[in-house]
Amino acid sequence: MIYIAADHRGFELKAKINEWLKGRGYTFEDLGAYEYAQSDDFVDYAIDVAQRVAVNPEHNRGILICGGGSGMCIAANKVKGIRAGLGFVQDQVHASRKDDNINILALAADNTDEMLAVELVEKFLETEFVQSENYLRRVEKITRYEREPAQPKKR
C-alpha cells in the first residue's frame, strides 16, 4: 500500500501526484491534508504516514510533501522501521531505494514541479532494493540500533 500526505505547502502538488497514481493504477490512501489550511503542521501528516508504513515497512511505501521536504523527512524518521529520504533528482531517488531501501519519499514542493515530482515518485515506486551483502548489512545496522540504541563510542 502507498500512503501519501502533504501539508499546506505541498497540498497542490499532492493532488497532482494523486491523479498520476490513480491514472497508473496504483493502490494508495491519501491521508490529508484534504483542504488547504495554512496553519496545519507537517509533523501530524508525517507521523501518520510513517506509522502506517511501519506496520509493514518492507512492503508499504509513503510519499510526503511539504515546502522544503526536510521537516517531513525528519519527523517520519522518528518512527521505528522508517527509512525516509529526500528526493531532488532521479538518480538520487534511485540510489536511495536501491542501496538504502528507503520506504518513504519526502518531496520539497517549493523546489519540485509536477513533472519532476511524478518522475521522482515513479523512480521511487519502481526501483527495487538490491539485497547485496553490504546493503543488507547497513540496513540491518540501522534496524538493530532501533531495537537497542548503542552508547557513543569513546575515541
> Which of the residues are catalytic?
66
Contact 84, 105 (CB under 8 A): yes
DSSP string, the chain: -EEEEE-TTTHHHHHHHHHHHHHTT--EEE-S--S--TT--HHHHHHHHHHHHHTSTTT-EEEEEESSSHHHHHHHTTSTT--EEEESSHHHHHHHHHHH---EEEEEGGG--HHHHHHHHHHHHHPPP---HHHHHHHHHHHHHHHSPPPPPP-
Q: Which three cell numbers stand for residue 74?
A: 525528519
